[in-house]
Structure 1
């Protein structure tokens, strides 16, 4: 079900809301230079320590993305004390990235020693057993990138871990873990799906209000809702 554009073309959009949505995306993804340019152009204000933390998050994200997990762990512990201690799943994923890098570098003996020292203790919990088996199986292949577990060596997997780490650091600092833009798109998608399934009546009024109802006030309040809770 497509909504008639005439229903929302006349709805006024507050420039500050648009600026906040853009800023949320830029800060989340650590685009520091762009953030600084955007602030200069719009006159928005951001705490200096927030920009400093963004630079630190960017370095951590890049190290994780490159597979330099030990450096990512070191910097994370400096920026967000006890984060990894409290988030075992994320800690396991980061340690696993280092293991994978050792395997890819054909340092099998070093990889095995690292696994025995750092990864094996996770095997005490059942939820890690299957993951451990998959990672250890990489050692059985001369060309691990051609093994059934090749996805563990992929850029996509490193991106997944790096993004999870970034969100965890944001949450640790009491910052939104998703951008306002993501939340707005998610909300719009849910509403459209429900309308297509003719289940709109079962939606909470707060979910629909401001997206498809007429009037600038509803839309303005809806954007503020997601800027607050994204």
Structure 2
């Protein structure tokens, strides 16, 4: 049983609410130029300091994504003092990005020295031991890209760290860590799952965003 579109198609949605949802997504992902165009088209008001903060986050995100973790750390400490000191997991992940860049550049001696100075101290906590072993194992391979830990060298891993850093900076500034659009999709998915469980085989099918967008 699919939810009858007639049950919700007549519900009016305020344009300002839609604009705010779109704006939330654009600001979260640091699409500054698009934000400025969107503001000009809709007449929305956005504080200038919000745009400045977005530009700083964008630079930090890009540095992390490119593997320039030391620059990302430097700018993060300028924008959000003590954030990395309080978030050791994130700090470790950023330092590990720099280690990986050294390994990929075949600077093994420099990578080992960096690991001993910056990463090894994390080994005092058990939760970092396995991660440390995985990263250090990269040094044993002439072609680390072909090692069992090749995923640590991937763009996906850098993007994961960059996304985590962006969310942490937003949280530090008391901003939502997820966009309104993401939260709406999450909530809709949960509601549909609950309906499906409540009504069993007679209930609506599991929610599929892809199918919903095609409907």
TM over 0.5: yes
Structure 1 residue 63: Cα displacement: 0.2
Question: Equivalents in 1 of 2:107, 2:9: separation in Å?
Answer: 60
Aligned length: 211
Q: Partners in 1 of 2:78 and 2:213 — Cα distance?
A: 29
1:64-112 deviations in whole A, cap 9, x for unaligned? 0000000000000000000000000000000000000000000000000
Cα deviation digits, residues 104-146 of structure 1 (max 9, x gap): 0000000000000000000000000000000000000000010
Q: Which residue of 1 aligns with 2:152?
A: 152
Q: After the TM superposition, which segments of 4 or more aligned residues of structure 1 sit over 3 Å from their partners?
A: 222-228
Q: Matched residues in 2 for 1:135 and 1:110: separation?
A: 14
Distance verdict in 2 for CA 1:199–1:171, change over 3 Å: farther
Shift of 1:225: 25
Shift of 1:197: 1.6
Check 1:46–1:227 CA distance in 2 against 1; reply closer, same or farther (3 A cut): farther
What corresponds to 1:209 in structure 2? none
TM superposition shift of 1:198: 1.9
Higher relative contact order (CA 8 A, sep 6+): 1
Q: Deviations over 1:149-194 (max 9, x none)?
A: 0000000000000000000000001111000000000001111111
Residue 112 to residue 127, structure 1, CA distance change in 2 (3 Å): same
Is the Cα contact below 8 Å between 1:99 and 1:114 reproduced in 2?
yes
1:61/1:4 Cα in 2 relative to 1: closer, same or farther (>3 Å)?
same
Task: Specify whether residues 199 and 177 from structure 1 end up closer, same or farther in structure 2 by C-alpha distance, changes over 3 A only.
Answer: farther
Residue aligned with 1:198, SS: helix
**Other-structure match for 1:225:** 211
Mark the CA change 1:176 to 1:225 in structure 2 (over 3 Å): closer, same or farther. farther
Please report the TM-score for the alignment, with normalisation by the length of structure 1: 0.86
Deviation at 1:227, TM superposition (A): 21
TM-score (norm: length of structure 2): 0.92
CA spacing shift, 1:79–1:223, aligned 2, 3 Å: farther
**What is the distance in 2 between the residues matched to 1:141 and 1:223?**
42
1:195, distance to aligned residue in structure 2 (A): 1.2
Tell me the distance in 2 between the aligned counterparts of 1:155 and 1:226: 30
